[in-house]
Amino acid sequence: GLNFIDLMVRQGNIDNPPKTPLVPGFECSGIVEALGDSVKGFEIGDRVMAFVNYNAWAEVVCTPVEFVYKIPDDMNFSEAAAFPMNFVTAYMMLFEVANLREGMSVLVHSAGGGVGQAVAQLCSTIPNVTVFGTASSFKHEAIKNSVTHLFDRNADYVQEVKRISTDGVDIVLDCLCGENTGKGLSLLKPLGTYILYGSSNMVTGETKSFFSFAKSWWQVEKVNPIKLYEENKVIAGFSLLNLLFKQNRGGLIKGVMDKLLNLYNSKKIKPVVDSLWALEEVKEAMQRIHDRGNIGKLILDVEKAPTPLMANDSTETSEAGEEEEDHEGDNDNKERMPFIQ
């Protein structure tokens, strides 16, 4: 699986970035080839998906057994590689941190991305949950049925939300950071929860830029604890990778995965795969996610041959099979067209 955090790792926009040489990637799916001496519950040949503390973008991956889960019979390998990060992140934020219940409302940014689509699906499992989403306008047709109210990511979504719900929303899920922090807090109802789980606004160019990084942090709302107390608001942060690999909560995540796989087996949720890419095409795959051109998850497939070079094209094919116009932030680096699911 390819996630936005991989772009942040590449640019060094994370705490303690790893030293090169490095094999990136935090999740994968495949077939068990070998077992440690004390491993129980798995056999060679099992179809599995796993979290990995780097090194997932490879033909052979080694990871502790506590991070490995069997793939349901109806799930293919690309869906399995798209499942762990997005759905565990969405589930933990909605149910463990924000305590989503019947009748609540949720605002999620990047509603067309992997986590955004997982959030929308999980919200649909609870009665009468209203989902407000922001996304690039070219994605609206493909994802309009997954959220209740959809807004252009460049529009004044605060006023749009307040026009529909004058009190605001119960939960804000923010993967953007920057100026959106203050906007999200302003939209919270009393006892509402704002959760920051990413900072994609920190990634603006091809390389790490101190000035863009500083600008994004300068725009972050300075949180006053007294104001939170007076307004009865909750502000939280969530990092699945830290929870897994730094804070040793693998057992908690296993319980969440069990619940999610039950939801999958009952056909209530299903990972959305945007496209499959060969390992040699990682540059183009990263560009697609950098440009926010994906609807759902991008997958690196070790068995896929690279797509032959094509003439530059100003359109890309969406999961819905429709052509998408170039949008703000795109560049001309689109010579390869991936295999779109």
The size of the chain, in residues, is: 341
The pLDDT of residue 321 is 34
Tell me the C-alpha distance between 131 and 107, whole Å: 6
Q: Residue 230, SS3?
A: helix
Predicted pLDDT of residue 291:
86
Q: Report the alpha-carbon distance of residue 182 to residue 203 in Å, rounded.
A: 19
Q: How far apart (Å, rounded) are the C-alpha atoms in residues 267 and 297?
A: 19
Distances (CA, A) of 43 to 48, 50, 60: 10, 15, 16
pLDDT at position 223 is 73
Residue 182, pLDDT score:
86
Q: What is the pLDDT of residue 199?
A: 64
Using the structure block, give the residue that is written with the tokens 């101190």: 210
- 202, 177 contact by CB (below 8 A): yes
Structure tokens at 321: 């099979």
pLDDT in 10s for each residue of the chain, 341 residues:
999 888 888 877 777 778 888 899 999 999 999 999 999 999 999 999 999 999 999 999 999 999 999 999 999 999 999 999 999 999 999 999 999 999 999 999 989 989 999 999 999 999 999 999 999 888 999 899 999 999 998 889 999 999 999 999 999 999 887 778 889 999 999 999 999 997 665 555 544 454 454 555 445 567 788 888 899 999 999 999 999 999 999 999 999 999 999 999 999 999 999 999 999 999 999 999 888 889 999 999 999 988 876 544 433 433 333 333 334 444 444 445 565 55
In the chain, helix, strand, coil percent, each to 5?
Answer: 35, 20, 45
pLDDT of amino acid 220? 59
Which is nearest to 138 in space by CA: 111, 100, 165? Answer: 111
- Identify the burial level of 225 via C-beta atoms within 10 angstroms of its C-beta, where 0-12 means exposed, 13-18 middle and 19 or more buried: exposed
Q: Identify the burial level of 36 via C-beta atoms within 10 angstroms of its C-beta, where 0-12 means exposed, 13-18 middle and 19 or more buried.
A: exposed
Phi and psi at 50, nearest 5°, equal -155, 155
Q: Which residues contact 192 (CB under 8 A, 6 or more apart)?
A: 168, 169, 170, 171, 172, 233, 234
In the chain, domain spans: 4-209+218-300
Name the CATH architecture for the domain at 4-209+218-300. 3-Layer(aba) Sandwich (3.40)
* Alpha-helical segments (H) within the chain: 4-11, 77-82, 84-91, 114-123, 140-143, 157-164, 180-187, 210-219, 225-231, 240-245, 250-265, 282-290
| pLDDT at residue 26, as a whole number | 96
